[in-house]
Amino acid sequence: MTQVDPTAGSAAGSAVGPGAGSALFAATVGLAGNAPPRAGAWRLFRDNPVSVAAALVLLVVLVVGLVGRWVAPYGINAVDVANALQPPSGAHWFGTDDLGRDVFSRVLVATQVSLRVAFVSVAFALVVGVGVGVVAGYRGGWLDTVLMRVVDVMFAFPVLLLALAIIAVLGPGTTTTILAIGIVYTPIFARVARASALSVRVEPFVQVSQTMGTPSGYILRRHVLPGVSGPVIVQTSLSVAFAILSEAALSFLGLGVQPPEPSWGRMLFDAQGFLGLAWWMSVFPGLAIFVSVLAFNLIGDGIRDVLDPRQRTLLQARRSTRVPGRRRAARTGGAA
C-alpha cells in the first residue's frame, strides 16, 4: 500500500500558511496541482482582448529592447549643453535633459538595460526557487521544514529592504542589482512550486509510479515539474513586473545601474533636481516603466485566468451564454 500524507489533501491551502505576505500569493498558489487540461487555454487567452492588447504592447517593448540601441536617433551620451532642458519637439520627441542628451534615445536604450536586469534576476529566482520548492514539496520531512523556515525568514524582510541590505554588503552596480533582485524573489517561487509539488505528489499516477520503483529524478521531470509549470508561469510574468519596479527603485536610489548606462530608474534619479523645470525628464522614463509593468501584470493575470479551473469554467460559461438576460440570472444566483 502506498502511504498517503494526511496533510496533503489541503496542500494548496496549508502550504500558504499564516505567515507574512502569504495572502498576496495565495491567488497564484491556489492554482496548484490542477495539472490543467491545457487544450483551449490558448483560445481563452486569445479571446480576452485585454490579454491580447497587453501581449501586443509587450511585443513592442521587447522589440524596442532588442533594437533600441540601433534605432535611437541620438547617442545616449551625446552631450549638447547648448540644447539642455529643451521641451519635447520635432528634433527631440521626449525633450532633452540637463546635459542636452536626447531623452527619447535614452529611454529606448534603457529599455534593454532595464529588461535585461529584470529577466536575468527573475530567471535566477525561478531556477533556484523552483528547485528548492520542488525538492521541499516532493521530499517532505525535515528537509521541507528547514527549507520552508528559511523561506519564512526571507519573507520577513520587506522586498526592497532586503535588496538594499544585499547591495550594502556587495556594493552598488548592475550585477549586484541582478543578484539582489534575484535573491529577493526566490522565496516566492519556492512557495508556489512547493505547493504544487505537494499536491502533485499525492496524485494516484505519481503514487503508482513510486510503487513501481520509478527513480525520483524521472518522476520529478515527468510528473512534478509539468504540474508545477502553470502557477510558475503566472508567477514569472508577475515577478518580471515587480523586478522592473525593483530595478527602477534601486537605480533611482543611485544604487542600481550605474552611469554611463541608462536605465529608466537611473533617468528618474537624474530628473530629481528638475521636477518643476523639465517635467519631460521624469514623465517619459516613468511612463516606460509603467507601460512595461502593466503589460507583464496583465499578461500574468490573463494566464492565471485561463489556467485557473474556477475562472475557466466562468469564462467558458460566459462564452456559451451570450444572451444578456441569462447572464444576469447566472450572476445573481438564479437558475440559468
Cell output for 235: 508567477
CB of 224 to other proteins, least distance (A): 25
CB of 270 to other proteins, least distance (A): 12
- Cell 517619459 belongs to which residue? 284
Among 43, 56, 331, 336, binds other proteins (CB under 8 A): 331
- Determine, following the binding rule CB under 8 A, whether residue 160 of this chain makes contact with other proteins: yes
Cell output for 23: 495572502
What is the per-residue binding string for other proteins in 229-258, x denoting contact by CB under 8 A?
------------x---x--xx--xxxx---
- Determine, following the binding rule CB under 8 A, whether residue 21 of this chain makes contact with other proteins: yes
Among 41, 85, 150, 329, binds other proteins (CB under 8 A): 150
Among 152, 210, 214, 258, binds other proteins (CB under 8 A): 152
Cell output for 65: 529592447
Can you list the alpha helix ranges (DSSP code H) found in 272-323?
279-307, 309-320
Among 56, 71, 81, 165, binds other proteins (CB under 8 A): 165
Give the span between the Cα atoms of 294 and 301, in whole angstroms: 10
- Cell 519637439 belongs to which residue? 89
CB of 32 to other proteins, least distance (A): 17
CB of 297 to other proteins, least distance (A): 5
Give the span between the Cα atoms of 325 and 104, in whole angstroms: 50
285-324: which residues touch other proteins (CB under 8 A)? 286, 289-290, 293-294, 297-298, 301
Note whether 168 and 110 are within 8 A (CB): no
- Conformational region of residue 175, where left means phi above 0, alpha means psi within -120 to 50, and beta covers everything else: alpha
- Determine, following the binding rule CB under 8 A, whether residue 279 of this chain makes contact with other proteins: yes
Cell output for 128: 533556484
Nearer to other proteins, 207 or 311 (CB): 311
Burial environment of residue 313 by CB neighbours within 10 A (0 to 12, 13 to 18, 19 or more): exposed
Nearer to other proteins, 184 or 225 (CB): 184
Cell output for 162: 532586503
Give the span between the Cα atoms of 44 and 64, in whole angstroms: 28
- Determine, following the binding rule CB under 8 A, whether residue 168 of this chain makes contact with other proteins: yes
H-helix or E-strand containing 69?
A: helix 49-71
- Determine, following the binding rule CB under 8 A, whether residue 67 of this chain makes contact with other proteins: no
Helix (H, G, I), strand (E, B) or coil at 96: strand
Among 31, 268, 299, 315, binds other proteins (CB under 8 A): 268
- Determine, following the binding rule CB under 8 A, whether residue 20 of this chain makes contact with other proteins: yes
Among 19, 40, 226, 259, binds other proteins (CB under 8 A): 19
Note whether 77 and 260 are within 8 A (CB): yes
CB of 99 to other proteins, least distance (A): 19
Region from 10-18, 91-99, 117-125, 214-222 binding other proteins, contact rule CB under 8 A: 10-18
Residue 122 exposure: Cα atoms within 13 Å on the Cβ side: 23
Q: What is the largest CA-CA distance in the chain?
A: 82
- Determine, following the binding rule CB under 8 A, whether residue 88 of this chain makes contact with other proteins: no
Give the span between the Cα atoms of 239 and 207, in whole angstroms: 32
Nearer to other proteins, 58 or 220 (CB): 58
Query: Interface with other proteins by CB under 8 A: which residues?
Result: 10, 13-14, 18-21, 23-24, 27, 149-150, 152-154, 156-162, 164-165, 167-170, 241, 245, 248-249, 252-255, 265, 268, 271-272, 275-276, 279, 282-283, 286, 289-290, 293-294, 297-298, 301, 327, 331-333
